Structure formats: structure tokens, C-alpha cells
Amino acid sequence: MISVVLASCRPAPLMVAAVSRLLPQCRSIGVELIVARVGDSRPDSDPIVDGCRMVRCPSGATIPQVRGAGLAAASGDWVLLTEDNCVVRPDWVERLVAGFTPDADVVGGVMANAQSERSIDAAAGFTEYGFYGPFQKAGAVPALACANVAYHRRVVADVVSWSLAGQWESGIHGRLAQQGVQFRLVTDAVVEQNVQHQVGTFCRNRYQHGRDYAVLRSSHLGSVKRFVLACATPLLPAVLTWRVWRRAGRSAPSDFLRALPFTLTFFGAWSAGEAAGYLRGNGAG
């Protein structure tokens, strides 16, 4: 048995667009679609949600907590997870399910961008999801986004617990890898970013995410190590942009070059947030 979970905390039209791609696929193979949503449990104005099981999340729940609530409600042996800022390709469920193997407990696909006409949106896609592109080193634990991943029942309880505690995918997948869990990357299972962005809003978003990342990471770092990392953050825009080129930019070089000024800007906002997070530490000082 398979379950599909959509984590939703953004405006209802984005959720409806995501459900519109997911529901036909779920119906075609007879699997449940769970929508874990912050605030309103359902936008009654759109009948497409009639085919979903809605899970209400409290106002103020973070994205990881919404993911955790959806995963906790799922009953499948495998649980596929995506988010409402994305749309899955028409064969996503089929492609990801075809990648399941007895020795893998985490299977994920790659990220692309449905909104690349504007340079701002192309850059936002590269900044947020470029690390989850198709060009990853063979044999390594793949970088998998929680917008395009599936978990076997053997690891779901841990993923739920860590998600409800506020952990993002990098932390969750790192902990699973330390436990010896096997991962598999399926490069033809594709999910696309589907949000149009504004520069100021997205810069604030990247700053906050960078700050939160550093604060969480600082919980097991000494003050000297945190200071050194903070001093190194001005290098991050160039380093992160190069990594994105290696993993995703090569698949769309013209989009990557056109978006480059905004990509550097957005990574600059992230690096400023990361520096602030390291200097703040874990909140004790």
C-alpha cells in the first residue's frame, strides 16, 4: 500500500495546482492522497479537494511540522512526500514507485523549475532546489528534497519525530545516513518549483532559512568554531552558486547564466542569515 502526502502552508491556489497534478495519478493506481494544511482545512470553493484526505495543522506550524503531520497520518508501507510550492510531473508517482527496491528505505527524485521565464524565478529555483539536481556523484548519499521523496514504513516514525521537532531534510537525511539507511536517487522522477517570487520577499526568506540553519547547527558547535564559520560566510555565495551549477545549472545553462545576478543575490541573503545564526549560537548567548 502507498500513501502520498502534500504538505501545504501557502495560498490555496498553489495547493489546488499541486493537487490537480497529484490526484489523477493517485486515482489511477488507487492510492490515498493526504493534504496536511496549515489553517483552513480545505478551500471549499474548489471541488478538486474532494478527492483528498485533509489533515489540519495549527496556525504557525512550520513546514517541517506540516510534513510531519502528514506523514503521521499516512498508512502506506511507502509514503511519498511533496509540497504545495511545487507541481509534480504527470508520471511522478509511477516513476518514483518504480524506483523502490528492497534494500532502500529512502527514494527520491530531482527538482526542476516550472517558473523560469523570469530571471528572478529561475534564480529562486536554482537557489532553493539547485542542490537537488540530476548531476550528483554516483555512490554518495544523494541530496533529496522533501518536495520529492518517499520513505519506507521502517523509517517513517523517525522522520515524523524529527520533522515535528523542526528538522529540515538535510538534518533528517543526515541522521538516517548515520544509521546506515540506504538511499536511492531516481533521476526521472521530477518535481518542479511553481512559485513566482519578489526579490525582497525571497531575500528575507533566504536570510531566515540561513539563520535558522546556522542556529540549529550551532547547538553542537563551540564558540570558536561558530566564529570561524561566521567569518567564512562571505565566501558562500560563490561556493554555493558553483555547486548549483555542477548539480543543476548544466541542464539549463542559458537559464542559469541569465539568472546568475539574482542567484548570487539570494545566496548573499542566505550567507548573511547564516552569519547571524552562528553569531547568535543556539540561543544561549
In this prediction, residue 52 has a pLDDT band, given cuts at 50, 70 and 90, of: confident
Average confidence (pLDDT) over 110-130: 95
Cell numbers at 92, concatenated = 511522478
With 90 as the cut, is the pLDDT of residue 66 above it?
yes
Helix intervals (H) in the chain: 12-29, 63-73, 92-98, 119-129, 153-164, 169-178, 199-217, 223-232, 236-247, 253-280
Contacts of 244 (CB under 8 A, 6+ apart): 126, 127, 130, 131, 133, 256, 263
pTM over 0.75: yes
Per-residue pLDDT band at 280 (split at 50, 70, 90): confident
**Measured distance CA(249)–CA(245) in Å, rounded:** 4
pLDDT bracket for residue 48 (50, 70, 90) = low
Residue positions counted in the chain = 285
230-242 mean pLDDT: 97
State the pLDDT at residue 285.
38
Q: Please choose, from the candidates 23, 9, 18, the residue with its C-alpha nearest in 3D space to the C-alpha of residue 61.
A: 9
Average pLDDT, the chain: 92
In a 3-state reduction of DSSP, which class is residue 131?
helix
CB 151 within 8 A of CB 81: yes
Instruction: Give the other-Cβ count within 10 Å of 265's Cβ.
Output: 18
Task: Kindly state the cell numbers that stand for 56.
Answer: 489540519
Q: What is residue 284's predicted lDDT score, i.e. its pLDDT? A: 42
Percent above pLDDT 90 for the chain: 81
Domains of the chain: 2-193 (3.90.550.10), 199-280 (no CATH)
pLDDT at 188: 94
Say if residue 41's pLDDT is above 50.
no
Report which residue type is found at 78. W
